[in-house]
Amino acid sequence: MVYLDHAATTTTRRSVIADMTEEFGYLGNASSLHGAGRRARRVVEESRESLADALGTTPHEVIFTSGGTEADNLAIKGLYWARTQADPARRRILLSAVEHHAALDPARWMADHQGAVYEELPVDGFGRVHPDTLRAAIEHNPDDVALVSVMWANNEVGTVQPVPELAAIAREYGIPFHTDAVQAVGAEPVDFAASGVTALTLTGHKIGGPVGAGALLLARGVDPIPLVHGGGQEREVRSGTLMTPLVRGFATAVRLAVAEREEHAERLAGLRDELLATVRKAVPDITTNGHPDHRLPGNAHISFPGCEGDALLMLLDAEGIACSTGSACSAGVAQPSHVLLAMGASAENARSSLRFSLGHGSDRSDITALGEAIGPAVERARAAWRKRR
């Protein structure tokens, strides 16, 4: 298989598998006081220190979760509840219009069930939130804003947001700022302290770690209301027995992804440019989506006029090429991408788009295979589209 969907999930590193396999051989709950428990606790805390060192934070600010979705929910719901508990007037949640559903849906749920006021920050044609846009939204009434959440890098079109600038504006008004950095870690220089954000989400399976392990980086002194109550683990923010093998593998993946980032990003950017040139040679009338400069190195998001993206995806899949129409969490949903619509694309254009994302293991043979398959696939998809019209 030619795998061009690394933004959905990527190859688990061999060293991560080795660490987890070894750890599964040990017995012990990290919350237990006996020797086996203390050994497990040491692994957890060493993993916490490793992750903190890689991401410019302190171990106390690392809250382990089951992944990005849980971390986003904890940040958005927990920070909202904490803010409204202190001041019931603070009910507005400001999110960019291009957020992942792991952030959008909790905010919408809060509006439907918890009295929140959900407000989307518009983006430009490249999918970027301008700092002036955020400032204007806050200044409309600074005293009623509960929190701001803007993702570090978009999972569909790859656009990177000016997170430090946005976080600085929120900080002027004493407003917590959360960012979903699931796609950014290992591709962009992510430093929690330097960015000035209040909370940051990351996950393991996007960077060669295990599915089921992630983290919320949470600034010292910030205490969201927990979603899960129980044993009081993780600063009493996220109760539950820690899965020590997954935590260890996750920390290894983060450490390696950050250490190798520059070389990895340079290689992927070169492959991405070659992929775009190859596809354009076969299908000259394509258009590309996302920011031309501020973008993830391994992301190529392409619109194929006169095609249904789902049909084109299945035709490529029949040739052994895996790609995506957007977020894996929205696969099979017969709706145009909310990201592209927010960027000003028509519904027809949004439905004609595919995401090709590169990662570890990607090489030029993948691009050659795509170049051979894409032209005939587009012709067939266009013929089918014309018949339906």
Enumerate the active-site residues. 329
Place of tokens 């090429």: 321
Closest alpha carbon to 62 in 248, 256, 201 = 201
Amino acid identity for residue 368 in this structure:
T
DSSP H or E stretch at residue 16: helix 14-24
Would you give the DSSP letter of residue 223? -
Centre a 10 Å sphere on the Cβ of residue 108 and count the other Cβ atoms it contains. Answer: 16
CA end-to-end distance (rounded Å), the chain:
33
Tokens of 335: 């709706």
Instruction: List the structure tokens of 172.
Output: 């002027």
Enter the tokens of residue 362.
């990607």
SS3 130: coil
Residue 13 is given by DSSP the state P
Q: How many helices (H) and strands (E) does the chain have?
A: 13, 12
Q: Fill in the DSSP letter of residue 303.
A: E
